[in-house]
Structure 1
């Protein structure tokens, strides 16, 4: 018997592009909101069809996407998310018909419309976004970083702890020609194998414990990528004491991560790279210092990268990436990169630049300097010391010159403030009325879903607030797909204060928690619109306090004046925006310069005289 599909409050929030607090408000404010049909008091479940009907009646959601409806029906029929996805994948591959006959036509229609690969990808993303799966899978952005650092393009890739295959999927997208994976979870292995089959990739995925039962013994890959389990005590220490993979030393029982590192190296071709996600303690624990020392002496260590907290589970700590190589020509240096304090959405590009060049986050450290009694490879311990270099002095001078130029640009931007005649009362019009009259188009918010997007930057709420171009991750999927244009006004729905920004250079995708206002250029000036939206009166008018501060821009009002008057005011608002952007840039650069100055003074590299930093040339 097939059960009716259900959704949680979090699912409803995702479908509608709002926060969970808004869903809670709907339940309290509307007696007609559907009652739970299951779940618990803390996490109730609602009938999907009833929710969809209610949302449509109240103008909250035009329709549920085909992929969302199908995924919820599959969940209801199978009960287990992994089983639901596996059944759909086997049907799409032609291995076995979908056991839920009533859903076969719907699944076949989705694949006919978008292709087998994209249909499975859409369902796979919904599976991966389930709350229980986010803690046990490698996030997509981190998977892309790992495969990029491993240089997988054109080569054979092995993931010895592949789980559902996220790293293999990222490797395939990055140009790997053959992929191999192994995992001891039967359900996860089944999904990873389906991913390989549907993408028509050479290779295979096998079931088993890679350390105890290596399914690919003798395989030498061009790259090995891994997010192995941390902290296992029963990993096979007793039975693997004389394993030939331990060429750098037998891993102590308390160091299972060093067993995974050596397993990865054992499967590398000469010249190949391995990238392994590691707990930060593995870089400094006393029990592993001899193996770390041998890895350094043999020249296998390319880089150690400290990631910001939140990069992967456990999210509260900053994990490390170990980049290793199989080489016959040991290098005398190691690249240590400390990105632990970087914003997560900006860190990954800087990490790549810092490993392969000079991205400003790392330092090149001599192996001899690392081979002390502790062999502590924690990047923060060494990067701070490495800042005491001539490069730091050059960067300090460059930033000082940049700040001086920014400060010099501020006086011309400061407007002369003259009093005006007594202000006259001007009629106001609500944003909702402008939308109804057709003079303004309101787009968004978008939600996760749909089919894969091309490689395109995404505008986020933080970008709008900070006044910068889109820094969102390329490759995200959104429904609907909205490309921002020059002259659009973008407003975050959740922010410390009501913010509005005019898009100067378009082309980015609209991200989540944003509303886009696209006006008729014959009726509305965008700078006039953005300037008036940011007033304190509109902030009070649009705010909705429900655990977090949310804004409904449709409630905001703007003066109703002729277009020429709008343009006059818009020119003034644009001048104010330029001033604000310059001040914000100067503040960010001032903070960085102060940090560099302090580091240079402490290291004895510079002295400060008459407000100028001078290089200290004394011995």
Structure 2
């Protein structure tokens, strides 16, 4: 008898299946004797029979309607050897995405034999373009997972299906040392490749490409030839698929292998290189590569693998070509690497070092550096300066990438246009003479060379007046905060937390209790694939509320020019509930209710707008529960970009009068949080100003000169 293989799931899978947190699953295991017993795994990481879990959840009314993504996850777990299958399914996603809509929708309805014939035919021509998939056979037992994959592509899109496959691949490889370069950072790195005329290099290489995020940024900026290599076949295959989905008109080559030991692009001379190399890998091939021709600036010590990557990238550049690498800050100062750093500086190969705030990329507790390199042109004069930028100097605690971009590019572009005439920005950027850097340590850390504003620029009388004004602001915000903090009497619910019935947003949408609106991010590209210039904002244009505005609880700062053209743009109304769609570093999603003075603004990208029927749902009640941390965590999707799946969020089913009581509580918490942030900013402003005045000699301590 042909019996279907059992699928086993972990506690994390159960939490995702039920739309709850992992802590809730742990509570179920402890409190409910009928919870399914472990069917495998270990004592510390048990696994459970999927059918038994589904039956238990269904009996309790905790089993949401299956989504195509959930069915694909189940199909992958049910299939024996599913790790290899997830890898082999990646080119199928691309093959299906290339069909027109009608053909794509017909695929899941095919008989098994016809479906398998289509898959083998559709992937046969392009098998060599996807590392690790060359031997994909697609046996008859793969028909079920294939059908689930194709239904996911039809319903949720190719990117969402790729994300599900990536989840499975990441689980089985362990994901050790595999980190995504955040999108704002990849965009900044790509912008640093643009030359002084605004032209972008045509061919770009990433020798540690991961899932291809840096190459995708290069494609968006205008690169036409993309070359990538990664040591993990699963990562390289993802890069190949994601790049072909996002940039189908580009020439894309992705290969697998260790770039330092086994360079898949020997002989390639690229216009530019983007790279986020692995950090601290001591077994990088030091002994085997001691006489490698790439070490034009010195043989990298065993403990300096990043300097091996620097020289590998330079070796692949044409004269005058530029590379941007994301580096740990220790590379700028470690003693073992000072000779190579000195040679890079002396020969003009290192053009800029930029320090980033903590949290810009993994590891989040370290402020990483960007190194901008340029392969020296033998016919050109060696530059006499290096640009140092301290983008972490502004203490940008909330990672405002617009500010970071502005800080870096407002220094880099003028320096690139006129290196001799660049004057720098006090405390932020400076063009350092090469001779000043070539001391015994050759320390390239920007903060150790950039001088603060000169004492002559400080005006004592002006600082005194500004300090008085800031103290007044601090006093007012502190008074507001104390007033809102007076009522701290919140009654307990009883011996145990309340246990209420909930409905998903998907259920509420079907029932007409609310509607959901969203603005797609602007594409910024023309049909020819060239970058589309950002339109200028028109005078009197309607403002747009951005995700950053919701995070910062500030008025609308965007304009209609920031939004995609050619589509109907949603306008926000009073009592709409806004929820940020993308999760930020060390932050959960943020919700707020639209006030009357914001009515008429356009809805910016990466925001979810919930418009409740106020006869059935209180807006502040809805905002409070939608943004609850455990609710958001259970509804997130994706591995490369963490996104909130709005339809999976849950809301308690309570009478309107009780909703309004909860809504009033959530509104008071929102006001308390906003007042605390205003007081925090005021305290930060006054302490920074006073510290600058005291250390710069413009202000005196209290009681100075008294007896």
User: TM-score, normalization: structure 2?
Assistant: 0.62
- Bigger mean CA deviation after superposition, 288-297 or 336-345: 336-345
How many correspondences in the alignment? Answer: 557
Residue 379 of structure 1 aligns with which residue?
Answer: 446
Q: Which residue of 1 aligns with 2:553?
A: 467
Q: Secondary structure at the match of 2:699?
A: strand
TM-aligned CA deviation for residue 260 of structure 1? 0.8
Distance 2:93 2:229 in 1: 23
Q: In 1, Cα distance between the equivalents of 2:67 and 2:701? A: 65
Contact 2:166 2:238 in 1 (8 A): no
Does 2:673 align with 1:606? Answer: no
Name the SS for the 1:26 alignment partner. helix
Tell me the CA shift for residue 261 of structure 1. Answer: 0.6
SS in 2 for 1:224: strand
Structure 1 pair 187–78 and aligned structure 2 pair: CA distance change class (3 A) = farther
* 1:159 pairs with one of 206, 209, 224: 206
Offset at 1:596?
A: 4.0
In 1: Cα distance, 2:610 partner to 2:606 partner? 11
- Structure 1 pair 174/74, CA: closer, same or farther in 2 (3 Å)? farther
- Corresponding residue number in structure 2 for 1:74: 76
Q: Tell me, in whole angstroms, the C-alpha distance in 1 between the residues paired with 2:147 and 2:614.
A: 46
For 1:251, what is the secondary structure of its paired residue?
coil
Alignment equivalent of 1:19, drawn from 12, 21, 24: 21
Deviations 1:415-462 (A, max 9, x none): 999xxxxxxxxxxxx998999999995899xxxxxxx977799869x9
TM-aligned CA deviation for residue 594 of structure 1 = 0.8
Equivalent position to 2:332, from 283, 298, 302:
283
1:502 aligns with 2:593: yes
Within the candidate set 338, 362, 386, 2:428 is matched to: 362
User: What's 2:406 paired with?
Assistant: 353
Among residues 106, 110, 116, which one is paired with 2:148 in the alignment? 106
8 Å contact kept, 1:135–1:314: no
Deviation for aligned residue 1:408: 9.4
Equivalent runs, 1:21-420 vs 2, <5 Å? 21-77=23-79, 79=81, 81=83, 83-90=85-92, 92-93=94-95, 94-96=122-124, 98-99=138-139, 100-113=142-155, 117-118=158-159, 120-127=161-168, 130=171, 132-133=174-175, 135-141=177-183, 142-151=185-194, 155-197=202-244, 200=248, 201-309=250-358, 311-315=360-364, 317-326=366-375, 328=380, 330=383, 332-339=385-392, 346-357=399-410, 362-367=428-433, 368-382=435-449, 385-386=451-452, 403=470, 406=473
Change (3 A) 1:607 1:89: same
Decide which moves more: 166-175 or 407-416: 407-416
**Contact 1:336 / 1:364 at 8 angstroms: preserved in 2?**
yes
Residues 366/128 of structure 1: CA separation in 2 closer, same or farther (3 Å cut): farther
Residues 578 and 593 in structure 2, CA contact (< 8 A), matched pair in contact too: yes
Structure 1 stretch 393-402 or stretch 483-492: which is displaced more?
Answer: 393-402
Q: Distance in 2 between matches of 1:543 and 1:352?
A: 30
Q: Secondary structure at the match of 1:346?
A: coil
SS of residue in 2 equivalent to 1:606: coil
- Aligned-partner SS, 2:73: helix
Q: 1:135, 1:312 within 8 Å by CA — same for their partners in 2?
A: no
SS in 1 for 2:123: coil
CA gap 1:184/1:583 in 2 versus in 1, 3 angstroms: closer
Q: Which runs of 5+ in 1 are unaligned?
A: 418-429, 445-451, 475-481, 535-541, 545-550, 612-619
Stretches of structure 2 lacking an aligned partner (at least 5 in a row): 96-121, 125-136, 412-424, 485-498, 524-543, 563-569, 631-648
Q: Give yes or no for contact 2:209–2:229 (8 Å, CA) kept in 1.
A: yes
Q: Could you say what secondary structure the match of 2:371 adopts? A: strand
Residues 79/362 of structure 1: CA separation in 2 closer, same or farther (3 Å cut): farther
RMSD: 5.6
For 1:595, which of 665, 669, 688 is the aligned residue?
A: 688
Please say which of residues 262-271 and 575-584 is displaced more in the overlay.
575-584
Is the alpha carbon distance of 1:575 and 1:65 closer, same or farther for their aligned partners in structure 2, counting shifts above 3 Å?
closer
Shift of 1:258: 0.8
Q: Structure 1 residues 48 and 334 mapped into 2: Cα distance closer, same or farther (>3 Å)?
A: farther
Contact 1:458 1:470 in 2 (8 A): yes
Q: 1:234-292: CA deviations, max 9, x gaps?
A: 43434544444333333233322111111112222445432222232211111211221
Contact 1:147 1:170 in 2 (8 A): yes
Q: Is the 8 A contact 2:68 2:156 kept in 1?
A: no
CA distance, structure 1, for counterparts of residue 396 and residue 22 of structure 2: 24
Contact kept in structure 2, 1:196 and 1:204, CA below 8 Å = no
Alignment of 1:454-603 (within 5 A): 467-468=553-554, 486-489=574-577, 501-504=592-595, 505=598, 507=603, 519-521=612-614, 526=619, 554=652, 581=674, 584-602=677-695
> How many angstroms does 1:16 deviate by?
4.7
Relative to structure 1, the CA distance from residue 86 to residue 225 in structure 2 (aligned partners, 3 Å threshold; closer, same or farther) is farther
Q: Give the aligned partner of residue 427 of structure 1.
A: none
Q: Which moved more, 1:92-101 or 1:18-27?
A: 92-101
SS of 1:219's partner is: coil
Q: Give the match for residue 616 of structure 1.
A: none
Partner of 1:617: none
Q: Is the 8 A contact 1:208 1:214 kept in 2?
A: yes
* Cα distance in 2 between the residues matched to 1:76 and 1:130: 15
- Scaled by the length of structure 1, what TM-score is found? 0.70
Structure-2 change in CA distance of 1:335 and 1:184 (3 Å): same
